[in-house]
Amino acid sequence: MRRIVLALGLTLWVLLAHAQKDPYRIGVYYFPGWANHQSGAQFPLPWEKIKPFPEREPMLGWYKEGSDDVARQHIDWMADYGINFVVYDWYWSRGNTSYLEHALASYLRAPNRNRIGFSLLWANHNQVPASRDNFDQMIRHWIRYYFNRKEYLKVEGKPVVFIFDAESLRNDAAKLGLSTKDLLDSSQEIARQNGLPGIYFVAGAPAVSPMIDGYASASGYSALSAYNYHGGLQSPIMSRSFPELDAAYQEHWNRFGRKSDLPVILPMTSGWDKRPWGGSRDPLHDQSRGTPEQFEAHLLAARRVLDSGLTGSLKMGVLCCWNEFGEGSYVEPTKKEGFGFLEKIRKIFGVQ
């Protein structure tokens, strides 16, 4: 009996230690935009757009994205500074092929990839799906190449897929005479046919959207989140400083808590400054890049929301972004700012 009690006590201690060690699951979006002459990329030589802004030069220099050395270093930095999973922006064509996969491919080759999980953000802003078969082929591609990998992020045993814009999917489905529910139900059936319990779809909810008001759950989504926000709900004016952007995010978080009938993977941001990509419609919006100290306050507010239970059953968040250097949303170490943003993530969410 004494051995049983000791064994149970040890088990409880291990469980409590693990819970205290890693109570949050924090991810980061990854933009695969930093390799030259990539099909589907916005610019053939993307770093050339960033070089006039030398404060954004990565710690690794103007690197070749997709190289094995870069992937290994990114993974180690993420894991060392409290990031649990990376969400790759992912693209599917009307011809049933994926593109801009070079960064994800280098992650999948990395010998240290087991240090963090990975997931996909389907960047559905290119008029896809073009047909029901086009959508179903994409689901089969995910199952074949990603979902059965042990590193793939899962919730309730289901592989997690973020949808960049759930309203765009609704509109694209309607052009095919279908609903979002038709497409997501079909994907669940394909998943079950391939031995999976289903797919955990996360709806990207725009600032003003019926997604939060019951549409997402009725359509078959499992949770809500967002890639980024630019302003609050009450004002049409985009933020003109990081404190304004932070306040806008907190407004959205509170709306999630008040109105959502689904769990929320809490969206967070390091800021916004789109000048390398040509600037925002309102140039003053490009003053919304944060400092490490402002970012820390933003993360503290997010942690309070996660601890409050407003996000439902999940204590998960996702940051925009690891490396959106063209939009000014990045936490990847740079030669000017060093590891300042990553240190704040570890301080607020990581293992001490």
Q: What pLDDT score was predicted for residue 207?
A: 66
Instruction: Specify the pairing of strand 25-30 against strand 85-92.
Output: parallel
pLDDT in tens, 147-164: 999 999 999 999 999 999
Structural domain boundaries, residue 130: 24-349
List of residues 6+ apart from 273 with CB closer than 8 A: 286, 287, 288, 289, 327, 328
Stretches in the chain below the pLDDT threshold 70: 1-22, 207-210, 234-236, 351-352
Q: What pLDDT score was predicted for residue 234?
A: 65
Structure tokens at 281: 């419609």
Considering the domain boundaries, does residue 160 fall inside one?
A: yes
Considering the domain boundaries, does residue 3 fall inside one?
A: no
Considering the domain boundaries, does residue 10 fall inside one?
A: no
* Whole-prediction pTM: 0.92
Considering the domain boundaries, does residue 218 fall inside one?
A: yes
167, containing H or E segment: helix 166-175
Q: What pLDDT score was predicted for residue 205?
A: 87
Q: What pLDDT score was predicted for residue 11?
A: 33
Considering the domain boundaries, does residue 17 fall inside one?
A: no
Q: What pLDDT score was predicted for residue 236?
A: 64
Considering the domain boundaries, does residue 9 fall inside one?
A: no
Considering the domain boundaries, does residue 15 fall inside one?
A: no
Residue 182 carries which side chain, given as an amino acid letter?
Answer: D
Total structural domains within the chain: 1
For residues 298 and 248, the answer to whether their CB atoms sit within 8 Å is no
Considering the domain boundaries, does residue 1 fall inside one?
A: no
CATH of the domain at 256: 3.20.20.80
Structure tokens at 21: 């060690």
Q: What pLDDT score was predicted for residue 208?
A: 66
Residue spans of beta strands (DSSP E) within the chain = 25-30, 85-92, 98-99, 117-122, 154-155, 158-163, 200-204, 223-225, 266-269, 316-320, 323-324, 329-330
Q: What pLDDT score was predicted for residue 61?
A: 98
